[in-house]
Amino acid sequence: MDARRKLLIVGLAALVVAEEEDNERRKRRRHWVNPYLQDRNEKYENIYRRPSVFFENFHMTEKDFCGLFGLVEPYLVPNRNTRPEAIPPKAKLAIVLEFLASGDLQRHVCSTYRISKQHFEVIIGQVCEAICISLSKEFPKWHKDSMLQWAKDFEEEWNFPNCIGAVGGKHVAIKAPPNSGSRFCNYKGFHSIVLMAICDAHYRFTYIDVGACGSEGDMNAFSQCEFGKALLSETLNFPDDNALNGERTPYFIVGDDAFPLHKRIMKPFGSRNLAVDERVFNYRLSRARRCIETAFGILCARWMAVQRTLLSGPEKSQNIVAACCSLHNFLLRTSPSTYAINEDSLIKADTVFTDLRPCCRGRPHDFCKSIRVNLKNFVNSPAGSVAWQNEAAGVQNN
């Protein structure tokens, strides 16, 4: 018993010593910032010391960067700062812009600029929200004067009358949310959210809706968004109908097979055995609808984060995509010559930035079909035709 008692006493003493040492370690003051991360100030300085690659890193000029920072700075300055090594607002904007432009993994950007992964997640949310709020005016309001101007631009640039915009949608791949089942799984087999957008004749987004589940990748995503509900219910204040071929024709947007034929949505003829005039109409309409595809192409090429899988939840991914669209409009206004890309240089290969599934719905109303027939007759008439349309459409001249 004496030996057992001695062993017990020795064991208890060892536990007491270990606990005291552990408490002593805990009492020691930890660093505000990990020593590895303390070198990040030099990284911030290097951001602005490389003018030769400034545009390559941020996809904007230094002048545009400073203008953007002036808009977002009020939303990035903390109300109270108790951290001696806090990241300055300008560096936050620069780091997030490089992440959006390059599409690199978050952990790679963190290691490059010596930021913890947890802190970088917070910074992305702050900066993207600040961009969306400060650039909200980059999206024009839908009123009659604006619509008439958009229709004029489409007729001048793309030779298509009464068109006020081109509508399209894309799947943006995201990390599978936990316990979501098949809610975000699209018809391609990966998880995504839907970006629904309308653009004008100059590739500028006039409306965006981000966040619909990937499983709703067809017309449901459009019909459930705010703009889609207003358009389909005829509550939008469109301009008065215009006369084409002696018939009153409403103003509309152009789309592809992902959308149904509607009074306010024109789409190509879908039959395989098309007549010559129908093929010419399809070419003319698709030429106008190409604006939205080009807009998506520029968005992908400049902000590569949207064409790769976003390793974030649906809400944060929604803010990232919306911020990229806001930056797209901002730079098209401030620096269209340097921001826009030649169509031949756009990404043609398939990526996770995927088209929506074609719409399979009931028969369109006779009134909608009569509008399309009238447009077909107009673009094939002497008043509405262009000299090169038959050759471009691949049909013989009469």
363-383 residue pLDDT tens? 557 788 999 999 999 999 999
Angstrom distance (rounded) from CA 147 to CA 238: 7
Residue identified by tokens 């064409």 is: 307
Give me the half-sphere count of Cα atoms (radius 13 Å) on the Cβ side of residue 377: 11
Nearest to 253 by CA among 272, 269, 266: 266
Angstrom distance (rounded) from CA 305 to CA 321: 8
Answer positive or negative: Cα dihedral of 244, 197, 260, 188.
positive
* Tokens standing for residue 81: 């700062």
Average pLDDT of the segment spanning 269-296 = 92
Distance of CA 25 to the CA centre of its chain: 49
Burial class (CB within 10 angstroms; exposed 0-12, middle 13-18, buried 19+) of 177: middle
**Which residues is 332 bridged to in the sheet?**
none
Of 47-51, 75-79, 147-151, 232-236, least confident by mean pLDDT is 47-51
More confident residue, 398 or 108: 108
Instruction: Read off the pLDDT of residues 304-343 as tens digits, 9 standing for 90 and up.
Output: 999 889 988 899 999 999 999 999 999 999 999 889 876 6
Asked if residues 312 and 107 have their Cβ atoms less than 8 Å apart, the reply is no
Tell me the helix, strand and coil percentages in the chain, rounded to 5.
Answer: 55, 10, 35
Q: What are the sequence ranges of the domains in the chain?
A: 1-28, 35-134, 139-393
More confident residue, 11 or 174: 174
Instruction: Read off the pLDDT of residues 31-43 as tens digits, 9 standing for 90 and up.
Output: 555 554 555 555 5
Angstrom distance (rounded) from CA 58 to CA 54: 6
Average pLDDT of the segment spanning 222-251 = 88
Nearest-10 Cα torsion for 85, 91, 92, 96: -140
Nearest to 267 by CA among 255, 276, 252, 249: 255
Residue 225 confidence (pLDDT): 86
What share of the chain in percent tops pLDDT 90? 43
Nearest to 261 by CA among 357, 358, 194: 358
Residues 6+ apart with CB under 8 A from 13: none
Average pLDDT of the segment spanning 140-148 = 92
Residue 344 confidence (pLDDT): 59
**b/e sequence 116-140, b meaning 16+ C-beta within 10 Å:** eeeebeebbbbbbbbbbebbeebeb
Q: What is the DSSP letter of 31?
A: P
Asked if residues 142 and 207 have their Cβ atoms less than 8 Å apart, the reply is yes
Distance of CA 15 to the CA centre of its chain: 58
Average pLDDT of the segment spanning 59-79 = 90
- Split at pLDDT 50, 70, 90, the class of 166 is very high
Distance of CA 14 to the CA centre of its chain: 61
Give the angle subtended at the CA of 176 by the CAs of 170 and 181, to the nearest 5°.
Answer: 100
Residue 93 confidence (pLDDT): 92
For the chain, give the mean pLDDT: 83
The radius of gyration computed from the CA coordinates of the chain, to the nearest angstrom, equals: 28
Nearest to 326 by CA among 166, 136, 124: 136
Q: Say whether pLDDT at 245 is over 60.
A: yes
Question: For residue 26, which amino acid is it?
Answer: R
> pTM of the entire structure?
0.84
Residue 349 confidence (pLDDT): 43
